[in-house]
Structure 1
Amino acid sequence: MPRWPKPPEGSWTEHYSELGTDPMSYEDSISPEFYELERKAIFERAWLNVGRVEQLPKVGSYYTKEIDAARSSVIIVRDREKQVRAFHNVCRHRGNKLVWNEFPREETSGTCRQFTCKYHGWRYGLDGGLNFVQQEGEFFDLDKGAYGLAPVHCEVWSGFIFVNLAPEPSQTLREFLGPMVTDLEGYPFDRMTDRFTYRAEVGANWKLYMDAFQEFYHAPVLHASQSPDNYATAAQTAGFEAPHYQLQGPHRLVSTSGVVTWELDPSMRKPMEDITRSGLFGPWQQPELGEMPSGLNPAKCDPWGLDSFQLFPNFTILIWSAGWYLTYHYWPTAYNRHIFEGNLYFVPAKTPRERVALEMAAVTFKEYALQDSNTLEATQISLESRAVRRFPLNDQEILLRHLHKVAGEWVGEYRSEAVR
């Protein structure tokens, strides 16, 4: 159960006694054997976010998602009844990949009336049904009704599209998310349709990159170059501590107070922030969004900065007080590599100045993310030496302990089932 606000005595970590306070091993981030178990135990069983409904604006809109950790490719499509569906991207004839462009390992998107296999021309409707077989009469008692596309469990919450690759999920999406996440219902995600997206291959385990955004202890040091010298020095001297951490099921939350950039002394701001009226914390001109849902700012910070919701296994929703949000995805491709995706969402700009402000926020975010990813490749290299095997974590790193504990529990449960 969540415990907040912070207890008057002791630390956050101590009050979640199941986590322990001992130095932690990162063997789960450097072991090829553990990664193989994660693929089966986590990525073939958990609900995975694969995008938003705005990516499917009309009937026939589709896109593909490569889920390398599950050795799967998925088609997400809006059918003729405007329902969002998902299918395995596999032709039922000879197993060719059904939807792809020039390069079969790359993702693609578009609009169509039906899906046609490039190999032998089999055609499938938007509902996945098999509509046409080339030279059908040469097949033996072929029942087209039995050879539609293989469906993938697909549910939508607040416009976010999730899939589950298990034959039968153990929980509905809503049960899996739990109230800490579903209490965000009512936030105007659907109004924030201007999207800036980044994608990069990172030479580090997926959990290590998640860890980088699960604590702000590093920010005054790693990101010092992004602030004027006097502000960076003051921040490093003071340090940083978020006022609220929360754990619920496999998911995590860190909520923190914030700085209103435009109220800072001008000497504490960068010239480009004044010119564009924007920066890391978003555009200075905030949209009117109405009443916020109960799940935001649980610690009642004033001023409030942001809430970062870490959804297991590999998805983050980070909501800024300035009226925008971003998402992170971490898609494993090996025990020591993954694809990082960042998406920033804003209420659409109405003027050139507003557009410039959005782009300034997007560019600033990119610089911060690059600093984190470069550091984590260095972390991966050093961890794999195994010269040091256990590492002390402070109280602000409680979410790191929780992520690695939950991953270990899912793998442990999978192992237990395998020996029954």
Structure 2
Amino acid sequence: MPRFPKPPEGSWTEHHPGLGTGPVSYEDSITPEFYEREKEAIFKRAWLNVGRVEQLPRKGSHFTRTIDAANASIIVLRDREGEVRAFHNICRHRGNKLVWTDDPKQDTAGFCRQFTCKYHGWRYDLDGSLTFIQQEGEFFDVDKDRYGLAPVHCDVWAGFVFVNFAREPEQSLREFLGPMVTDLEGYPFGKQTAHFGYTTTIHANWKLYMDAFAEFYHAPVLHAKQSPEKYSSAAQQAGFEAPHYGIDGPHRMVSTSGVRFWEMDTELVKPMEVLTRSGLFGPWDAIDLGEMPSGVNPAKCDPWGLDSFQLFPNFVILIWSQGWYLTYHYWPTSYNTHVFEGNVYFLPATTIRERIAQEMAAVTFKEFALQDSNTLEATQMMLETRYIDRFLLNDQEILCRHLHKVVGDWVDDHEGARK
């Protein structure tokens, strides 16, 4: 029989009295004014993940990232010393966007030894310094040392690249992440370089999609049609009602069990899953990644299925017991739209069968994510009617309650500090 850790005495939510247990408001997800407030209070103050170091394989490698919620476009690069840096993507001459290809509205990536503005040819080194001004003699006592690219605070943890737009961050990246997240150090993120990704625009507030992956209460219902008739009961056996929740500062996590229903009854899986030996839970043939760090499966679920870590504000790392991981990003573009990014990572395949199993897992997760997004757009539409303004959350939805509480606290703290 599967063995699950017992929750603390009483409910999960009641062990965090600051969260309350009453109905909650989603006004923070349907108000243009609040979106403007959280842009200033959160996305210009928190550490934001913008990618991984594997995107910068050598000196001169770079990529750009547009972050609407911070009104920013940045260049992330590896400099001549091998360090990862970030700069605002703007020329110091007339304000042209410095790095772009055919469409300035689209992000790009590449390699160069220096950056040259497309408008008037000003050049910048990889350390951001201004090295060349076209017809420099036409300017008035210009000091190139004073007009390098504007830097953005940048740091790396476990291969994940983070930036912070505050003039001076209130915490270092490590302090901001806290022990629940940093206890993941030692997990082989850097070895899992086989990558599949997708991006789509969702017509719903970013927090509503964060909520969708903060609980498994919805899975046997929402995703039942994706699988055969008996999927709902199998999902419950697999532990969708998660046995462990964790909260640390602004971050949260949920851990659940790993009963492999495809080994119990082949009627519960699709023919394509049998052929590829892969599906929603990833490749069936588990990969041994060695001893896991203390932050993985903190509740010691036996058997263990997955851990989902929500790093405030908009980044999720989901680690699977089968030996792979995925990330989600939720980038706000307005109070009721955001760009959702899903990225799936595996060890590089050594056989064709392994590659097919990885692709099957990536495609299956994309389909499930689209089911979630369709539901959330329906949620957004009805929340905006405001005919009902308070909604019930159960004990399994503690992480949803926590996210909206933290968002409100960050906005209140920021605005209180400015008074």
TM-score by length of 1: 0.97
Task: Determine whether 1:189 maps to 2:184.
Answer: no
Shift of 1:287: 2.2
Q: CA RMSD in A?
A: 1.5
Shift of 1:238: 10
Structure 2 CA distance for partners of 1:279 and 1:185, relative to 1, 3 Å? same
Q: Structure 1: how far apart are the matches of 2:230 and 2:98?
A: 56
Three-state SS of the structure 2 residue aligned to 1:77 is strand
2:203 counterpart residue number: 203
Task: Determine whether 1:153 maps to 2:153.
Answer: yes
Shift of 1:299: 1.0
Three-state SS of the structure 1 residue aligned to 2:384 is helix
- Contact 1:99/1:117 (<8 A) preserved: yes
2:307 counterpart residue number: 307
2:294 counterpart residue number: 294
Shift of 1:5: 6.2
Q: Structure 1: how far apart are the matches of 2:358 and 2:78?
A: 29
Three-state SS of the structure 1 residue aligned to 2:86 is strand
Three-state SS of the structure 1 residue aligned to 2:230 is helix
Q: Structure 1: how far apart are the matches of 2:248 and 2:233?
A: 36
Three-state SS of the structure 2 residue aligned to 1:35 is helix
Task: Determine whether 1:366 maps to 2:366.
Answer: yes
Q: Structure 1: how far apart are the matches of 2:76 and 2:8?
A: 48
Structure 2 CA distance for partners of 1:275 and 1:237, relative to 1, 3 Å? closer
2:340 counterpart residue number: 340
Instruction: For 1:248-267, list aligned pairs within 5 A.
Output: 248-267=248-267
Residue deviations 1:89-129, cap 9 Å, x none? 01011111100112111100011111110111000011111
2:269 counterpart residue number: 269
Task: Determine whether 1:72 maps to 2:72.
Answer: yes
Q: Structure 2: how far apart are the matches of 1:235 and 1:112?
A: 49
Structure 2 CA distance for partners of 1:235 and 1:183, relative to 1, 3 Å? closer
2:108 counterpart residue number: 108
Q: Which runs of 5+ in 2 are unaligned?
A: none
Q: Structure 2: how far apart are the matches of 1:88 and 1:295?
A: 34
Structure 2 CA distance for partners of 1:112 and 1:239, relative to 1, 3 Å? closer
Structure 2 CA distance for partners of 1:8 and 1:96, relative to 1, 3 Å? closer
Structure 2 CA distance for partners of 1:189 and 1:340, relative to 1, 3 Å? same
- The alignment covers a number of residue pairs equal to 416
TM-score by length of 2: 0.97
Instruction: For 1:20-419, list aligned pairs within 5 A.
Output: 20-232=20-232, 235=235, 240-419=240-419
Q: Structure 1: how far apart are the matches of 2:211 and 2:6?
A: 21
Residue deviations 1:33-62, cap 9 Å, x none? 100000000000000000000000111110
- Contact 2:238/2:258 (<8 A) preserved: no
> What percentage of residue pairs aligned between the two structures are identical?
73
Q: Structure 2: how far apart are the matches of 1:206 and 1:148?
A: 35
Q: Structure 2: how far apart are the matches of 1:336 and 1:6?
A: 38
Q: Which runs of 5+ in 1 are unaligned?
A: none
The letter of the residue matching 1:312 is F
Structure 2 CA distance for partners of 1:53 and 1:295, relative to 1, 3 Å? same
Residue deviations 1:211-250, cap 9 Å, x none? 0000000000000012211233564799841000010000
Residue deviations 1:378-407, cap 9 Å, x none? 000000000110000000000001100000
Q: Structure 1: how far apart are the matches of 2:259 and 2:279?
A: 12
Shift of 1:9: 2.9
More divergent stretch after superposition (296-305 vs 234-243): 234-243
Structure 2 CA distance for partners of 1:288 and 1:239, relative to 1, 3 Å? closer
Q: Structure 2: how far apart are the matches of 1:200 and 1:35?
A: 20
Shift of 1:270: 1.2
Q: Structure 1: how far apart are the matches of 2:216 and 2:230?
A: 19
- Contact 1:215/1:397 (<8 A) preserved: yes
Structure 2 CA distance for partners of 1:381 and 1:28, relative to 1, 3 Å? same
The letter of the residue matching 2:350 is K
Three-state SS of the structure 1 residue aligned to 2:245 is strand
The letter of the residue matching 2:138 is E
